[in-house]
Chains A and B, each alone.
Chain A
């Protein structure tokens, strides 16, 4: 009996300025396959369904257990991690495309460094005095930890930016992931001391006001982070901060 097979269609583009095309691959079915295994199969036998030799598909991947954020792509049109996308659960033929809201590098590889730049701009860190011994950290209630921990699991995959209607050529909304990080650092006892810096970074163009509450972000977050709660919370913080600085004349 011949092996059971399935088809994967991959959007190929050698470089940003070159035109894109689709390659179709026929792969041998096994149970429990994920998209990473498909891409490895292609790398080992880079032949299209119609027998053309092609280059292996370029893609990003690292941890393969949905905790590093590397392998985000459009799978059947939906932004998600390739490692946790199981072939058994996907409609065939499977379509793979690069994320569209980030500059293309090649095939399924995009450049998401803008997310890390945003984390810089919004001061998403705890400004410790130094790494020399300074004793214990601040006490924290279990309930605060339970609120913060889910936010701290953001893997910077970019799915929430990809799906957001306000991330486009005309608006450079910083995105739910970054806003949620601001919430995390502002709730930390030490981080709260310079909360205003982060809030000011979210005022003006590209800031929190650009969010128009489409609520798509929370649906594509692979880590189930309560992004819409974060958006609402930080929006409230920004408004209170703006009102306060207006009355007091200082940041």
Chain B
């Protein structure tokens, strides 16, 4: 029997989990990553990972986790797979614990759990406030072990350019570029699993890492992979604004008792600590008495926008609100939140244990992504699989906090074995495909590089990127008007035209980051359009997608998944029904217990 070969692109949680599963089944893995996998964006996840282990005597159950997730996602997620994820979550925590993750403990030595947004249960396991980092390291260590046993080969410092798709529309491998030598090379594989993460850079600044450009997803989209629910973008309510990045202040700060407030008097410039209790407006607690500071992210973000832009109550007139943990015991802060408080102190310069933090919402996560099927993370192109943030399956119209880590790992666990099974059943493996198919793809990609390296013009890719980010953030995040989004499309037309006049300030063939970025930018511009077109079309309000002109959820017309496809350079939208077979849709309202 022939041994198949599987490629995984992306070495965050989803990619590493998939790699471990494939390696365990005895199939060799080629793992590609732009950065050394230990530096992947999963390290930025802070607060924790959800699993209904019910270790606090609250009567929590995997069904309640499932219901919270579906309700939190405003009923847009296909339900069976979400149920599967919630049922698998407790065993995933156990597995991570066995791998040595330094989860926080109770006095009895059991796993500790904290509360997170969109639930009334203590369901979130955590390792300080650097849970994503700790989980990623655990999987990284396991993959390193498989690497020493020869089961995994890493290609770190390679960027994915395109899939190699043969004449019958089957994926036979990938084309990638070495970021030091700039070599463009094709690699054969029977299946490729994409775990390429988020798309924050499409919005310029976000809470995402530098590599989260969505470039790989966009390249695949342009090759025929369907992109689903692109318009659903999560804006996290609490981040520290910065010129290079909007740094996340985890929901766990509120999970541990942190409170959001503004001075009741507009333009009050007194120091926070000198403002008496009765002159503070804890607006989330007043507006949402049951969930308080732990309403889901879309709800909290819109509330902050209302306070700042409509009620003009931002701190001292600024675009900011207080996130206050100063009333919490120091010991709790140091044991459970040290990682994030340290970030605040280092980047802002004062100690948030003493003085309330100033925060503002920031683009954080894409619920949408590559379309995958209902049971094994397969895209519509045979041989291409996807897992993690780059696919669309688990979060509907809004993701609950601490569900991303579990969805990444669960997706990776499914995608690995599914790709192995598919590869073993292939009649003709990639080794039997003619070299000309690979040669053609290499040529196409080298030509794309040559075009950028040789074209003359006056445009700088960073400038175009910043302008794209600005228009996307202004018009296609928290509050969406069709007119403003049409203007964004015109702006994207202008940027597309200017992209053709990029003048690379670096034309060398060694570690040329300008070329790499220009390639990514081209792909980002297309993804920006997918997001915007999807948002214009969807005339309703659902989860993170909020249109004041269409303020209600419209199940009659819009309880459906958006499927964008790319035909001859044009983006086309199609729709398919959502699987609501397990929980009938009901009104989503966080002012009371659901």
Using a CB–CB cutoff of 8 Å, the interface residues on chain A facing chain B are: 14-15, 30, 32-34, 36-37, 40, 43-46, 53-56, 58-70, 83-84, 86, 105-107, 109, 112-113, 116, 119-120, 123-128, 130-131, 133-142, 145-146, 148-149, 152-153, 155-156, 185, 188, 190-191
Residues of A within 8 A of B180 (CB): 105-106
B242 in contact with A119 (CB, 8 Å): no
Residue pairs across A and B with Cβ atoms less than 8 A apart, 9 shown, are A55-B508, A62-B39, A67-B339, A70-B39, A84-B347, A106-B510, A125-B141, A145-B104, A153-B130
A55 in contact with B133 (CB, 8 Å): no
Number of residue pairs spanning A and B whose beta carbons lie under 8 angstroms apart: 198
B144 in contact with A119 (CB, 8 Å): yes
Least CB distance from A221 to B in Å reads 13
Residues of A within 8 A of B134 (CB): 149, 152
B511 in contact with A152 (CB, 8 Å): no
Given the interface pairs A62-B35, A145-B103, A145-B105, the reply to whether A106 lies near B98 with Cβ below 8 Å is no
A137 in contact with B513 (CB, 8 Å): no
| Contact indicator per residue, chain B 146-177, by CB within 8 Å of chain A (1) or not (0) | 01100000001000000000000000000000
B106 located at the interface, meaning its Cβ lies under 8 Å from any Cβ of chain A in the complex: yes
How many angstroms between the C-alpha atoms of A149 and B100 in the bound complex?
10
Given the interface pairs A37-B243, A63-B39, A146-B335, the reply to whether A55 lies near B505 with Cβ below 8 Å is yes
How many angstroms between the C-alpha atoms of A54 and B43 in the bound complex?
34
A53, A58, A131, A155: residue with the most chain B Cβ atoms closer than 10 Å: A131
| Contact indicator per residue, chain B 60-89, by CB within 8 Å of chain A (1) or not (0) | 000000000000000000000000000000
B223 located at the interface, meaning its Cβ lies under 8 Å from any Cβ of chain A in the complex: no
Residues of B within 8 A of A65 (CB): 44, 245, 247-248, 343, 347
A70 in contact with B505 (CB, 8 Å): no
Least CB distance from B414 to A in Å reads 12
A153 in contact with B133 (CB, 8 Å): yes
Given the interface pairs A116-B36, A125-B145, A149-B127, the reply to whether A191 lies near B100 with Cβ below 8 Å is yes
B510 in contact with A56 (CB, 8 Å): no
Least CB distance from B144 to A in Å reads 6
Q: 9 shortest A-B CB distances, which residue pairs?
A: A137-B97, A125-B141, A139-B109, A106-B511, A55-B506, A126-B100, A68-B39, A44-B462, A64-B245
Name A's interface SS.
loop
Residues of B within 8 A of A55 (CB): 505-506, 508, 514
Least CB distance from A204 to B in Å reads 19
A67 in contact with B243 (CB, 8 Å): no
Given the interface pairs A58-B513, A66-B346, A142-B106, the reply to whether A131 lies near B41 with Cβ below 8 Å is no
Using a CB–CB cutoff of 8 Å, the interface residues on chain B facing chain A are: 20-21, 24, 35-36, 38-41, 43-44, 91, 94-95, 97-100, 102-110, 127-128, 130, 133-134, 137-138, 141-142, 144-145, 147-148, 156, 180, 209-211, 242-245, 247-248, 335, 339, 343, 346-349, 413, 460, 462-463, 466, 505-506, 508, 510-514
Least CB distance from B458 to A in Å reads 13
Given the interface pairs A40-B462, A44-B463, A139-B109, the reply to whether A64 lies near B514 with Cβ below 8 Å is no
How many angstroms between the C-alpha atoms of A113 and B335 in the bound complex?
32
Residues of B within 8 A of A62 (CB): 35, 39-41, 209-211
Least CB distance from B528 to A in Å reads 19
A116 in contact with B141 (CB, 8 Å): no
Given the interface pairs A62-B209, A67-B44, the reply to whether A133 lies near B94 with Cβ below 8 Å is yes
B247 in contact with A14 (CB, 8 Å): no
How many angstroms between the C-alpha atoms of A141 and B514 in the bound complex?
50
How many angstroms between the C-alpha atoms of A27 and B147 in the bound complex?
44
Residues of B within 8 A of A145 (CB): 102-105
Residues of B within 8 A of A36 (CB): 244-245
B506 in contact with A56 (CB, 8 Å): yes
Least CB distance from A59 to B in Å reads 8
Least CB distance from A107 to B in Å reads 8
How many angstroms between the C-alpha atoms of A107 and B335 in the bound complex?
39
Q: Taking CB as reference atom, which chain B residue is nearest A137? A: B97
How many angstroms between the C-alpha atoms of A120 and B387 in the bound complex?
27
How many angstroms between the C-alpha atoms of A70 and B91 in the bound complex?
32
Q: Taking CB as reference atom, which chain A residue is nearest B241? A: A32
Q: Taking CB as reference atom, which chain B residue is nearest A185? A: B100
Residues of A within 8 A of B99 (CB): 125-126, 128, 137
A149 in contact with B94 (CB, 8 Å): no
Residues of A within 8 A of B102 (CB): 145, 148-149, 152
How many angstroms between the C-alpha atoms of A61 and B21 in the bound complex?
29
